[in-house]
Amino acid sequence: MDDLFGDDPPAEPRREELGEGAVLLRGRALTDEAALLDGLEAVIAEAPFRHMVTPGGFEMSVAMSNCGPFGWVTDRRGYRYQAEDPLSGKPWPEMPDVFRDLAEGAAVEAGYPGFTPDACLINCYQPGARMSLHQDKDEHDFVHPIVSVSLGLAAMFQFGGMKRSDPVRRIPLLHGDVVVWGGPSRLFYHGVLALKDGNHPKLGARRINLTFRRAQ
């Protein structure tokens, strides 16, 4: 019911503009929670999380997997998208319909109709894991946005600008939040601060992030 008497606290904004072309849709994934977690479990059973190595030889603190036609990988040879999981030599698991539908729907709401992801990177953060500031630039065409879905423990997302040295905004991302960035902010630097310890009722001591992209 509406707040007729004006004594309820104002509802938290469900939509927040983070900059030109970048939108936070708070709780957007919550209605799909059960199906998303089922999909995640099925994908990870086929393509388990693993710690990849950067071209410089450092093991990433975030464990990763992928689903969809292409998966993002890193090893001593570089960063790239490829159709096969290097662990199994087989194609990455199919992208669950609920993943694709959520990514496409969120993109429409953020002003990017026609986004059809062909890659979903799945990041698994355990307490202490972090992702330093970087640009997503291994994709073929930057006309397509990035759609990022947060599940599990809350994390502090950093969202900067076109230069690594630009001021960085810190945005707490909670279970069910979706961030979409594209257009003028498509190549903005972003990262995640070290995950704090905690226990999420559905995912335990973990944060899972699904990053949808059009790789090709």
Query: Which residue number places its CB atom closest to ligand SIN?
Result: 209
CA contacts within 13 A on the Cβ side of 61: 15
CB of 46 to ligand SIN, least distance (A): 21
- The DSSP letter of residue 105 is H
Number of residues near ligand SIN (by CB under 6 A): 9
In the list ligand SIN, Fe ion, none, the entry touching 65 (Cβ below 5 to 8 angstroms by class) is none
Q: Which of 39, 70, 209, 214 binds ligand SIN (CB under 6 A)?
A: 209
Four-CA torsion 201, 203, 206, 211, nearest 10 degrees: -130
- The DSSP letter of residue 36 is H
Kindly tell me which of 118 and 136 has the beta carbon lying closer to Fe ion. Answer: 136
In the list ligand SIN, Fe ion, none, the entry touching 192 (Cβ below 5 to 8 angstroms by class) is ligand SIN
DSSP 3-state percent helix, strand, coil across the chain (nearest 5): 15, 35, 50
Of 171, 52, 179, 206, nearest in space to 110 by CA:
179
CB of 175 to ligand SIN, least distance (A): 12
Give the separation between CA 168 and CA 150, rounded to whole angstroms. 19
Q: Which of 85, 104, 118, 136 binds Fe ion (CB under 5 A)?
A: 136
In the list Fe ion, ligand SIN, none, the entry touching 186 (Cβ below 5 to 8 angstroms by class) is none
Give the separation between CA 99 and CA 36, rounded to whole angstroms. 7
- The DSSP letter of residue 193 is P
Q: Rule CB under 6 A: is residue 123 a binding residue for ligand SIN?
A: yes
Kindly tell me which of 39 and 158 has the beta carbon lying closer to Fe ion. Answer: 158
- For strand 63-67 and strand 71-75, is the pairing parallel, antiparallel, or unpaired? unpaired
Kindly tell me which of 2 and 24 has the beta carbon lying closer to ligand SIN. Answer: 24
In the list ligand SIN, Fe ion, none, the entry touching 131 (Cβ below 5 to 8 angstroms by class) is ligand SIN
CB 70 within 8 A of CB 216: yes
- The DSSP letter of residue 30 is G
Give the separation between CA 15 and CA 116, rounded to whole angstroms. 22
In the list ligand SIN, Fe ion, none, the entry touching 118 (Cβ below 5 to 8 angstroms by class) is none
Kindly tell me which of 66 and 211 has the beta carbon lying closer to ligand SIN. Answer: 211
Interaction site with ligand SIN (CB under 6 A): 121, 123, 131, 148, 157, 190, 192, 209, 211
Interface residues toward Fe ion, by CB under 5 A: 136
